[in-house]
Amino acid sequence: MPNTIDAKTRLAGLIGWPLDHTLSPAMHNAAYETLGLNWVYLPLPVREGQDLVRVTTALRALPFVGFNVTMPYKRVMLNVCDEVATAAKLAGAVNTVHVVDGRLIGYNTDGRGLMESLKDEAAFDPAGKRAVIIGTGGAAGSALVGMILDRAAHVTLAGRRPEVGEDMIDNLVDRLRDTVAEAVALEASREAVEAADLVINATPLGMRPDDPLPVPQEWLQPGQVVADMVYRPSVTALMEAAAARGARTVGGLGMLVAQGAIAIEIWNQGTQTRAPRSVMRAAAEAALAAASAPAGTED
């Protein structure tokens, strides 16, 4: 945070529910300090869906540069924004909003954040590759759009409700270009998973210690990249299972940092300043460590 909060301080924040464990304030405020921005990032818990419009109406009039959106409001934010960027329309979800002269402009930085983390942490380029995305929710939609834009050869959406995945693909049929996309039931996805260059967990499975694996361990193969969008814990059961099978693993923290950094760059348009990923990651890791430390202990 800035040393002095004054009349020129601009605001940013995160809308969602619950927000008890969010890392976003830590990593955003660290970035603002590094960049010399007189901005402050705040958690903005919105418990009831009917309060969302009232809150966003207030944000139009307050000195907000923008805000992020997390569950359960990413989809509904599409209808709240005055303008929505193409990638957000394709993904069916908004996770970043730029406030410009009282207007709300919606973006989706999740797909770009995922692609950035794959390239940085696993040197993985989706072009010409086969990918399987586990899940059919908003996170899966963002990953699917990222894969299409980066020209993956084949993408399989595997979920409990394959009809939802089919609808997602139908909405993108005009954008597929060189990508073949299909939706299958999760239990019927073994062949696709075994043949994939990349497997992405876009479900919440792995956040709790007793969660089952998104896919059976024996389906994972040596040499694959297995990416888990879950970032808490930093090493999930899926990542451990994949590493034991000889796969390379990518956790969700890199994606979280990258999508947040891209959001800052959207809000700070016109400066050509790159958000400091390394600073943001260090702040997020410190916040994670502090949250997991036993009560009464110090770093």
Give the H or E element holding residue 162.
helix 162-171
Candidates 74, 89, 119, 129; catalytic one: 74
Six token digits for residue 203:
């479900």
Angstrom distance (rounded) from CA 150 to CA 73: 26
Report the alpha-carbon angle 191-192-195, nearest 5: 85
Pairing of strands 154-159, 103-107: unpaired
Rounded distance, CA 18 to CA 41, Å?
17
Tokens standing for residue 252:
């969700």
Yes or no: say if 249 and 226 are a contact pair by the CB < 8 Å rule.
yes
Active site residue 129: no
Write the burial class of residue 265 (CB in 10 Å: 0-12 exposed, 13-18 middle, 19+ buried).
middle
Q: How far apart are CA 103 and CA 1, in angstroms?
A: 26
DSSP assignment of 215-261:
S-GGG--TT-EEEE---SSSS-HHHHHHHHTT-EEE-SHHHHHHHHH
Reduced to 3 states, what is the DSSP secondary structure of residue 157?
Answer: strand
- Please tell me the distance from the alpha carbon of residue 154 to that of residue 198, in angstroms, as a whole number: 10
- DSSP-derived secondary structure letter, 152: B
> Which residues are known to be catalytic?
74
